[in-house]
Amino acid sequence: MSEPSCATTLEDDRYEIPNYLVADLTKLLTKVAANEGWYRQSWLGVPIWQLPDDLMLLQRIVTAIRPALIVETGTKYGGSALFFASLLELLDLPESRVITVDICETEEARTLLANHRLAGYVQHRLVGSSLDPEVLACVSASVAAAAGPVLVFLDDWHGGEHVLAELQAFAPFVDSDGLLVVADTSFADLAGTPVAPFRSLLHSNPRTAIDTFLNASPAFERTTDFVVGGLSNFADGVLRRCGPV
């Protein structure tokens, strides 16, 4: 086989992966963590399906922006709503509130968020699709009444089309002081593992939804301001407002 000509070599763009060894090991360890420990976590005794590093990431975000309103999709057992409520109390934000949305309400979440000492921070437990007009109208009214930044955390169904529709629906609720966070962008890398066994996740996942959204919505951009390394399921899923919607 002959050596490539100088012209061929010059025309071929250089392609280098920075910190390739660290990047490869991080992806591998994230696969292990997501499959072996993601669903085993708890917050104040309540199951919360997040990696510990991601809970710290969310803590840094809430501490930095001090939101007047946190809107999360995906209630499950209520652990994440309780997590956000406890941060609001620790940050001495007694007027701030949490809205949690899920297409169905578990008995565990219903009991927890009705009786826990911090339940008063949860303004609404909305049962229905996050894209239901009545759900969006309730969120919109709460956003309009909020006297401060809004944090939106999208963490329910992870199919690309659904996440894209959520991004389009919830983006108008976030101003330049708030943030829009999309969970589980790592599903693009986890496809085929036990926690994400569906082949469709290779091409339809939260990361592809963000890419499509950002290509059509220059009002938002990714930010790594709150990312400090570690194992994360959504380190590339933090979006900030940089222009009008």
What tens digit of pLDDT does each residue of 182-232 get?
Answer: 999 998 888 888 888 888 888 899 999 999 999 998 999 999 999 998 889
Taking Cα atoms as reference points, which of 201, 166, 162 lies closest to residue 180?
166
143-184 pLDDT tens trace: 999 999 999 999 999 999 999 999 999 999 999 999 999 999
More confident residue, 71 or 30: 71
Distance CA 109, CA 77 (A): 5
* pLDDT of the residue at 12: 73
Q: Where are the beta strands (DSSP E) in the chain?
A: 42-43, 46-47, 69-73, 97-102, 122-127, 150-154, 179-182, 220-222, 238-241
End-to-end Cα separation, the chain, in angstroms: 55
> Structure pTM?
0.89
pLDDT at site 35? 84
Under 8 Å between Cβ of 129 and 103: yes
Domain 19-241: give its CATH architecture. Answer: 3-Layer(aba) Sandwich (3.40)
Domain map (residue ranges) of the chain: 19-241
Give the 3-state secondary structure of residue 15.
Answer: coil
pLDDT band with cut points at 50, 70 and 90 for residue 15: confident
> Tens digits of per-residue pLDDT, 37-77?
778 899 999 999 999 999 999 999 999 999 999 999 999 99
